Amino acid sequence: MQATSPEYWINKLELTAHPEGGYYKRTYQGEEKITDQELSVEFNGHRWLYTSIYFLLRSQDISHFHRLKSDELWYYHAGSPLTIHVIHENGTYEEIKLGSNLENGETMQYLVPKNSIFGSSVLEPDTFSLVGCMVAPGFDFQDFELFTQAELLAQYPDHHEVIGKIAYEKIPVGV
């Protein structure tokens, strides 16, 4: 296996399937915890101050539209550029290219603001993108919300094209 294949990274980094699509592994969580009383976000219980993961998406995979209650900072690591699709709280759509070709408008890191609806995809065929994601306050599946096409189209009909590509038609059982 070569370092240029997604299987190499999935095996070497011990990544597992993520419910939104792609593969991930939590690599770090801060030692400190925080409550929502100290923040402007509401959640039940305590959260790690921050968490970090590796996230790998193959070109045949989609990271489906979802929302977090926390900011998520994305870092490009390897492979092809990754497109992050964001529907901001005000309803505007933004497409960010995460990659190392700065001359081509790519950026090596991007902050997805809390409460934004977002997903990602790899445009180049037969390839992958390996990124890192840091969430603060730390990620917890209690704060993770997936969306169907119908839910998003009812709220954002102007974005029907990207919603049709990135949102689940129907959320799979067990997710």
Q: What are 96-119's pLDDT values in tens digits?
A: 999 999 999 999 999 999 999 999
pLDDT one-digit tens code per residue, 79-90: 999 999 999 999
Return the pLDDT at 44. 76
Cα separation, 90 vs 108, in Å, equals 25
Q: State the pLDDT at residue 122.
A: 97
- Over 137-175, what HEC string results? CCCCHHHEEECEHHHHHHHCHHHHHHHHHHCECCCCCCC
pLDDT of residue 102: 97
Phi and psi at 12, nearest 5°, equal: -65, -35
**Residue 45: predicted pLDDT:** 77
Q: What is the pLDDT, as a whole number, of residue 47?
A: 80
Q: Identify the H or E element spanning 149.
A: helix 149-155
Q: What is the dihedral angle through the alpha carbons of 68, 40, 26, 164, rounded to the nearest 10 degrees?
A: 10
Q: Domains in the chain, ordered, with CATH?
A: 47-166 (2.60.120.10)
Where residue 40 falls among pLDDT bands split at 50, 70, 90? low
How does pLDDT run across 44-80, given as a tens digit for each residue?
Answer: 777 888 999 999 999 999 999 999 999 999 999 999 9
* Beta-bridge mates of residue 119: 85
158-171, pLDDT tens digit by residue? Answer: 999 999 999 999 98
Q: pLDDT band for 22, please (50, 70, 90 cuts).
A: very high
